[in-house]
Structure 1
Amino acid sequence: MKNINFLKISILLYILSFVQTYATEKKTVDRNLITFKNDTLKSNKKSHSKTVFTIDPPVIKAHGNQLYCPQNTINIVTGITISHDPAETGTQAVYIQISSGYSNGFDKLELSNPALHPSITTSWDVTAGKLKLSSPTGIDVSYSNFESAIRDVVFSNSSATASGTKTFSITIGQANYLPSTGHFYQFISNVGITWTQAKAAAENSTYYGLKGYLATISARDEAKLSGEQASGAGWIGGSDAETENIWKWVTGPEGLANNGNGTIFWNGLSNGTTPNFAFWNNNEPNQAGDEDYAHITAPGIGIPGSWNDLSDTGSLIPGDNYQPKGYIVEYGGMPGESPLEIAASTQITIPEAIITSPKPICDSGIFILKAISNAGTINWYDAAVGGNLLGTGNTYTTPTISSTTTYYADAGCEINRKAVVATVNKTPDTPTVYSPVYRCGAGTVTLQAASNMGVINWFTTSTGGTSVYTGNNFTTPGISANTTYYTEASDSGCTSNRTPVNIIVYTPPVVSDEEIILCENQTVMLDSKLSGMFYKWSTGETTQTISVSTPGSYSVEVTSPNPENCTSKKTITVIEYKKPIIKNINVNKTTITINLNNASDYFEYSVDGVNYQTSNTFYDVTGGLQTAYVKVKDNLCNINETTQHFIVLIIPAFFTPNNDFQNDFWEVTGMENYPQAQVTIFDQYGKLLAQLSGSKLSWDGTFNKAPLPSSDYWYVLKIDDTTPLFKGHFSLKR
């Protein structure tokens, strides 16, 4: 308690005299007559009508930073004193608030043993997390009675999983007190007030001598207390009216900072990339309608206690969520102000172990378990509740264990023990495989492996390397030489030894397909051309060679002996070459064409039996009786040669009967081969000049033994009654 100076003694004597004079009307000093140091008189009565007294505000000192276990109750203080001016020995209410760490619906403050405090009634505000101790009659309750009641205020939390630290603020006034800032916060209801009006009203208000201003919020607990735990939503001291999207605190200590330029808390970039705190609601600030002023969002709209931007008036629709309902006044921190001690705080910490989960091991071993506590010492147990104390300290080394075991770290509350699982995984058995695996020739191979658990991985090396495949059945890429793969089983980080799988690649019998010529009405031998093998022909025969007499496709599977046992398939196509059959021989003067009934490209032709060609047409063939020859090429089927005679008639285009022994007669070469042939010769006027036949085959150019002149003469050649007549003309030259 502060020492009372002589001035205070004089005031006290005056007050006592005043109280004694009006004892029948009042028991305490009228608060309309009292103002606190540096405070503004709140009475609307004229000052000359009453005497006003200035006194020191009370000073509260509280003790009790304690550990708390959930689902229990604990007194919020271990000690409390309220020092006060002798002129004021009591007040009508004291407020106790969970000012940080509040969990709505789980945390609760209440007065235990209320029967021991008949002069005090209680009221619990679940939204604000605030307990009011007050006079039931409106008459001041002494500070000593409040001290006694505060000692009996208890905190409880109904959640078994509660955690963290909770701060209790104990204050004389109604404003919410936040120990982390030492400031007071009060929501003033005033529906429809503009931001400009709210700023002026806040700056004209005082609280126990502290000058007010629109709240400037710079931390999460400050936002929670002034927003989420406040009784209503309202204006706060942020604005970007000066520069669009550059939001500043423009009032209070933050507004005076930076030579009066204010404190930037949001610069308009993504997520507000300034070092200062901002708590915008979803998609805010959106600048819709030139919204330059910060406002705590109405309950039920987005994030509790967060902010949105509004115009100076906000919504003008009565009852709308964006119609201003008031403003938040903050007290404290202004230049020249001394800290106000009408509030004190205590806190409780819920002991909690923060564990480090150990890495699993394989099969068996020891673990070094680690945990730290936010309060006190870690104790290690073998059960979630009760159990045996195994060790003490931030680490605990387990005995050798071969199965997964759960241990528990206790930071001071049995109900809040944290499980630490020491996981022991089993190593899978070494995979069983089929090895070696054989393959005939280049290609892929499907390898198989199995284990009692886990997954199978395949590698190209006996140790290290990267898995090339995962799964029990692995189809390799194409391989052409002996190769080894390795397989292991893995489960939960535990890996077996690797097992090799050898792939042996054998070279299969080397065969090649063939085409074999079969001459008509003959047989041909088919040969696999590999000895010492096993054979299986498409005919069912099992010898190296077989004989066939019909054309077609034949195949033989040639299998090498064990251990290779590789099979190759050879296909032999048997093509039959038939005997040529001459259909006719077309004779056009000295050009002849041999036509066949069964023409094929494996035939070749000749008109002399010596010189053969693939074309069936011959030119400049000598007149007379000739022979056409047709056979299979390259003498493959000599016995299949076919011949046919034909006659070439050569009719001269001119003759020169001048006895020089060259072309002295006109005669048809080859006509001698046709006994019935007859040639009739005429002049240009149709006069019969000569007639040739088997007895006379040439004409000397005379008529009745007289030489005829040089000229063109006509002929008609009749071979027989079945052959068309040949007609033409020739020249006689002298």
Structure 2
Amino acid sequence: MEKSTVFKTILILLLFLTKMTHANTAPIITATGNQIYCPQSHMKIVTGVTIIDPDDTTTDAIYIQISSGYINGQDQLTLIGSHPTIITSWDITSAKLKLYSSTGSQIPYIDFIAAIKDVEFHNSAVSPTSGNRDFSISIGQANYLPSTEHYYQFIPSLGITWTDAKTAAENSTYYEFQGYLATITNLDEASFVGKQASGTGWIGGTDEETEGVWKWATGPESGTVFWNGAVNGSTPNFAFWNIQEPNNLGDENYAHVTSPGVGVLGSWNDLSNAGGASGDYQPKGYIVEYGGMPDDPVLQISASTSITISSISASVGELQCSQKTLTISIDFPDATLNWFTVPTGGSPIATTNTFTTPILTQNTTFYYDYGCPVRKLFVVEVIPLPNINSTNNPISICGNNDVALEAISSAGNVNWYTSLTSTNIEATGTNLIIQNITKSITYYAEAVDRGCSNNIRIPVNVTLYALPDISDEELTICEGESVSLNAGIEHMKYLWSTGEITQTILTNELNDYSVTVTSPAPENCSKTKTFTIIKNTKPSIMEVLVNESNVTILANGIGNFEYSINGINYQDSTTFNIETAGLYTAHVREKNNCGGDTKKFVVIFMPPFFTPNNDGFNDFWNGKGMENFKTAEIKIFDRYGKFIIQLNASNRYWNGTLNEKPLPADDYWYVARIDDSIPEKRGHFSLKR
């Protein structure tokens, strides 16, 4: 074996023997006292504490720190009572109270135990921020965080590089714990390390292996990725970068907790291995974390307690309907609440976090506490049960019609239902309009105020009565006649447009009549019947138009007329076709026997042309039918009005000559006269050669 190897082996054995000779067993400290804090009170942080050390009875200092939930400027730890061997110092930044001797000498554990029991917590705020205040009690200067059960220590070293800090941290120990550059994995740890542990130095994060991929390079989290990408990258695990970090400028591959005043307090920045040469970005030291390594022992050199500050509101309340109970449930897992009917004194009426009140009939205030002197109040506003004060019940209507229901409540509003048990609200409001009712119905009104009701429904009855069964009439009479008008239904009340009140009346000269018929009580339903009177007059024949065989009778008057040319057979049409010339009588009469009229007329057929060429056809012109009238005569003129010839019973035909000389082909005119009682007939015809 080489001499150097032998020397190293002997040196290691000597160091081991020296360590065994000077081995010091770590003390064990325990504490109890998880409590609920009453605002503005002074509360001791422990209810009990023990320190056991097999080989020592003294130590130089005890450190008590608000490790979680600390609010700078409000929270404070203070030692009270008489402890002549102990003085204190309070570090407001790290929230740490140090108990030690003014001379630097060792102090017996028994004195420290008495002093720890007299350390009080106080929050100066009237309404302190809710949450927990965790306290760590440590034998040793490193800061203890109960949530991780690790220790943290800031080691000042101006200008130290990240790689040197990593080596120095890994070469340091605390009692029997192996140190490493801090790895921060949650917000509680970040707040504790970055804000309270003077954390203005290196921590164990780096992206030197892959740019932009940040890993923890030390401790039990070594190799764990906690950030991917640059600014606004992703966080597969916890990260607490400062604003716009990490920006990966140049060779900024190492994580550093920023100095106070730079960005977000306690957040991280990426720096080069050496950091800045001066100023805020010059490394001020490094943060060592102890605990969690595979070979670390199980030690109890720190203990922790906790104080909970209540998050219950100072004053709350609810609405409740009268004649009911109210169950008040308050989510307060830290303690069981005591309920009172008075603000101070008295005995609790219940001890529960779910309190059911007695039956309530008026506004009531309850008070509760969770062990603190000041009680909080809970106001229950009791809503009186509303009533239906009045309705317009009963209602009667006549015939299919709209109806308005009304109900007045003492408070709130009105819900309307179609039955006593229906759960379907038909309408809400003081008035309910129902359209086109076809039968008698009942609706029910219930008073409701903010969801409260006495569950009493008041009926509003609607009775539907039928209208009198009458309908309008149209009557036709002859002019000058009268007729009896009947209202059409018996045992009613009647009021005619003429002012008469009988069931029937006689017409006079009016054209229209109406009667209002009202049924007897309780119906009292009215309906009006209208009579339209059509007065027909006696017809009069104004003229009978004869056009060859077509005859039209023109008559005037008012009515429904019918016509005849023989006085036996009548028709609605005014036009007749007559095939035989002769003397006829036109008849017209009114169908309702309102009279009639007659007028004589003559039918003579006047040929439209004749051809006097002695061929045996149409050689002569004459008025066919003239032979039936002895006094009949026809005068013929040429187109210039020159008289040619006169035809009569003795001279019935014209051969187209004048003075036995043939007249030229042309149009000729005639005037036919039967007698003085029949109008003349005029026309023209053609002479063709």
TM-score with structure 1 setting the length: 0.66
| Residues 369-408 of structure 1 mapped to structure 2, 5 A cutoff | 374=333, 378-390=337-349, 402-408=361-367
Q: CA deviation at 1:555?
A: 3.8
Change (3 A) 1:648 1:469: same
**Alignment partner of 1:650 is 2:612:** no
Change (3 A) 1:584 1:235: farther
Q: Secondary structure at the match of 2:442?
A: strand
Q: CA deviation at 1:440?
A: 1.6
Q: CA deviation at 1:504?
A: 1.7
Identify the match of residue 474 of structure 1 among 409, 427, 432: 432
**Alignment partner of 1:728 is 2:669:** no
Identify the match of residue 699 of structure 1 among 639, 650, 653: 653
Residues 604 and 612, structure 1, Cα contact 8 Å, conserved in 2: yes
**Alignment partner of 1:179 is 2:133:** no
Residues 188 and 328, structure 1, Cα contact 8 Å, conserved in 2: yes
Change (3 A) 1:158 1:625: farther
Q: CA deviation at 1:370?
A: 7.4
Q: Deviations over 1:246-265 (max 9, x none)?
A: x9975567746xxx6x4899
Identify the match of residue 79 of structure 1 among 49, 65, 68: 49
Change (3 A) 1:185 1:621: farther
Distance 2:543 2:282 in 1: 117
Q: Which residue of 2 aligns with 1:155?
A: 121
Distance 1:188 1:603 in 2: 132
**Alignment partner of 1:363 is 2:323:** yes
Q: Which residue of 1 aligns with 2:60?
A: 90
**Alignment partner of 1:438 is 2:396:** yes
Q: Secondary structure at the match of 1:344?
A: strand
Residues 476 and 535, structure 2, Cα contact 8 Å, conserved in 1: yes
Q: Which residue of 1 aligns with 2:549?
A: 590
Distance 1:376 1:224 in 2: 28
Residues 417 and 443, structure 2, Cα contact 8 Å, conserved in 1: yes
| Residues 628-707 of structure 1 mapped to structure 2, 5 A cutoff | 628-632=586-590, 635-636=591-592, 638-639=594-595, 641-652=596-607, 666-669=621-624, 677-679=634-636, 691-696=645-650, 698-699=652-653
Q: Deviations over 1:246-300 (max 9, x none)?
A: x9975567746xxx6x48999xxxxx9x9x98699999999999x9999999999
**Alignment partner of 1:212 is 2:180:** yes
Structure 2: gaps of 5 or more residues: 1-15, 229-233, 674-678
Q: Deviations over 1:7-31 (max 9, x none)?
A: 47976xxxxxxxxxxxxxxxxxxxx
Q: Which residue of 2 aligns with 1:718?
A: 671
Q: Which residue of 2 aligns with 1:487?
A: 445
The amino acid across from 2:516 in the alignment is E
The amino acid across from 1:455 in the alignment is N
Distance 1:594 1:300 in 2: 123
Identify the match of residue 98 of structure 2 among 133, 136, 149: 133
Change (3 A) 1:424 1:147: same
**Alignment partner of 1:68 is 2:53:** no
Distance 2:35 2:74 in 1: 19
Q: CA deviation at 1:527?
A: 3.6
Q: Which residue of 1 aligns with 2:89?
A: 121
The amino acid across from 1:693 in the alignment is L
Q: Count residues in correspondence.
A: 646
Identify the match of residue 450 of structure 1 among 408, 430, 437: 408
**Alignment partner of 1:346 is 2:305:** yes
Distance 2:158 2:426 in 1: 72
Change (3 A) 1:521 1:601: closer
Query: Which moves more between the two structures, 604-613 or 501-510?
Result: 604-613
Residues 368 and 396, structure 1, Cα contact 8 Å, conserved in 2: yes
Q: Secondary structure at the match of 1:717?
A: strand
Q: Deviations over 1:592-639 (max 9, x none)?
A: 4455677x895555544455555544444754554445555xx13623
Q: Which residue of 2 aligns with 1:570?
A: 529
Distance 1:299 1:607 in 2: 132
Residues 558 and 569, structure 1, Cα contact 8 Å, conserved in 2: yes
Q: Deviations over 1:42-77 (max 9, x none)?
A: xxxxxxxxxxxx988876554443443222102223
Distance 2:474 2:152 in 1: 107
Identify the match of residue 369 of structure 2 among 400, 403, 410: 410
Change (3 A) 1:224 1:501: farther
Distance 1:351 1:148 in 2: 28
Change (3 A) 1:529 1:368: closer
Distance 2:166 2:582 in 1: 142
Q: Deviations over 1:66-93 (max 9, x none)?
A: 44322210222343649699799536xx
Distance 1:292 1:584 in 2: 128
Identical counterparts, % of pairs: 37
Q: Which residue of 2 aligns with 1:534?
A: 493
Change (3 A) 1:515 1:152: same
Query: Which moves more between the two structures, 559-568 or 168-177?
Result: 168-177
Residues 431 and 498, structure 1, Cα contact 8 Å, conserved in 2: no
Q: Which residue of 1 aligns with 2:515?
A: 556
Distance 1:140 1:114 in 2: 19
Residues 100 and 225, structure 1, Cα contact 8 Å, conserved in 2: yes
Residues 677 and 693, structure 1, Cα contact 8 Å, conserved in 2: yes
